[in-house]
Amino acid sequence: MEANLIKKYQPKYNIIWRDDKNYFFVGITKEDFPQVFWTHQTKELKIKNLKLKIDYLGPFVEGTALKKTLRILRRIFPYYTIKKHPQGLCPWCHLKLCPGPNPDKKEYKKNINNLISVLKGKKQSVLKNLKKDMKKASDSEAFEKAGKIRDQIFVLEKVLANAKVLNKTKEIDITNWSKIEEKLAQILKTKLRINRIEAYDVSNIQGKEATGSMVTFIRGFPEKNFYRKFKIRTPHHFLKKGNSYKNKMKSGGGPNDIAMLKEILKRRLDHPEWTYPDLILTDGGKAQLNAALATRDKQQETRNIKVVSLAKKENRLYIENQKNPLFLKKLPREIFNLILQLRDEAHRFAISYHHKLRQRYLIRE
């Protein structure tokens, strides 16, 4: 809470958490030959006492994915990362990642515009325009230029086909979130505000190295400062539903996801200093919903938290005090996207932690 308030109000003397380190932006300077860079900040960049006007694209959640994407795009659309290029060729020029000391101004601006379009998600539009330019160059017998554009198209198509380029955060401003919150409240049949949502998931292999995840979204944005991961403490043999692995199919044995979920929620709700959510989303069906409600109701101060559970099969959403589940595909598109984003992020976070524990387990074995 302190970090969020500091970032919101920007107090003059408390500078520890004033910069928003949760998200990344791509900055593009407004000049004849724009520079491209990534940053946490969205303030004016000072270079040699000169203030440059900058356009920012973002925010982007994954810094690693953003940097990798910029490296790949630089191969397709070379750009400057410095104010003044030396008179000769620089090391980036030899790698064909820099337009050189004397680039064509019109071509450079075109490359920057294509780069911006890709980062904004207009990848197919860029491809279509490049193919038109290639045909035009070929028809006018500018074969060298056509070959260069062809290489750009090849690399860009390869990137789009084989790489998850970027996960840009949903651009949900306060006005949009108010509309989403209103629709969400109608679905949940509540008059309480829904701003903070927590989603939970469990990951394990037959109960071994079982882990749980908690991800937090505030006003539709993932807030990674409030993510938590849990290593299941309940002994493995207490998590078995059936008598043995061989009888699993007959007796309904296997890892007890309900017991794990209860443990995770209990441990989370024992930490009021983390700030309680307005809504909890669990992965599962009616059983997981009931387990979450039973755990929630053990404490008086947590009984106002709304609880829903999403069943993977047919994406049915179970809501407390509602007899029949709702099909996610029949809900408003904003709610559909929000719920799936929460579920997928909780699953990703649980899987990543589980893989780390499995690797340690295998090394010990």
pLDDT (tens digit per residue) in 295-338: 999 999 999 999 999 998 788 999 999 989 999 989 998 899 89
- Is-contact 57 26, C-beta < 8 A? yes
Helices 123-139 and 143-162 cross at an angle (nearest 10°) of 160
pLDDT tens sequence across 140-185? 888 887 888 887 787 777 666 544 444 444 444 445 788 899 999 9
* Higher pLDDT, residue 310 or 22: 310
- Give residue 149's pLDDT: 81
- Give residue 121's pLDDT: 75
Retrieve residue 212's tokens. 């749980």
- Is-contact 308 319, C-beta < 8 A? yes
Average pLDDT value for residue range 21-36: 80
* Higher pLDDT, residue 45 or 125: 125
Average pLDDT value for residue range 95-116: 85
Sign of CA dihedral 132, 136, 138, 139: positive
Of 162, 159, 183, give the one whose Cα is nearest residue 172.
183
Beta strand extents in the chain (DSSP E only): 24-29, 36-39, 45-47, 50-52, 54-60, 196-205, 208-218, 221-222, 228-231, 279-283, 306-311, 316-319, 326-327
**What phi and psi, each to the nearest 5 degrees, are found at residue 217?**
-115, 135
Stated pTM of the model: 0.52
Average pLDDT value for residue range 202-209: 63
Asked whether the predicted pLDDT for residue 274 surpasses 60, the reply is: yes
* Higher pLDDT, residue 15 or 273: 273
DSSP H stretches of helix in 195-270: 248-251, 257-269
Measured CA to CA, the distance from residue 262 to residue 290 in angstroms comes to 10
Which are the contacts of 287, defined by CB distance < 8 A and separation ≥ 6?
258
Average pLDDT value for residue range 41-63: 65
Asked whether the predicted pLDDT for residue 49 surpasses 50, the reply is: no
Task: Return the domain boundaries, the chain.
Answer: 8-162, 174-364
- Give residue 22's pLDDT: 55
- Is-contact 256 291, C-beta < 8 A? no
- Give residue 160's pLDDT: 62
Q: What is the residue type of 165?
A: V
Average pLDDT value for residue range 329-353: 87
CATH number of 174-364: 3.30.420.340
Measured CA to CA, the distance from residue 159 to residue 132 in angstroms comes to 20
In the structure, what pLDDT confidence band is assigned to residue 354 with cuts at 50, 70 and 90?
low
Measured CA to CA, the distance from residue 198 to residue 343 in angstroms comes to 10
Helix-then-strand count for the chain, H and E: 11, 13
The region, left, alpha or beta by phi > 0 then psi within -120 to 50, assigned to residue 352 is alpha
- Is-contact 268 305, C-beta < 8 A? no
Q: Could you give the percent of the chain with pLDDT greater than 70?
A: 75
- Give residue 326's pLDDT: 95
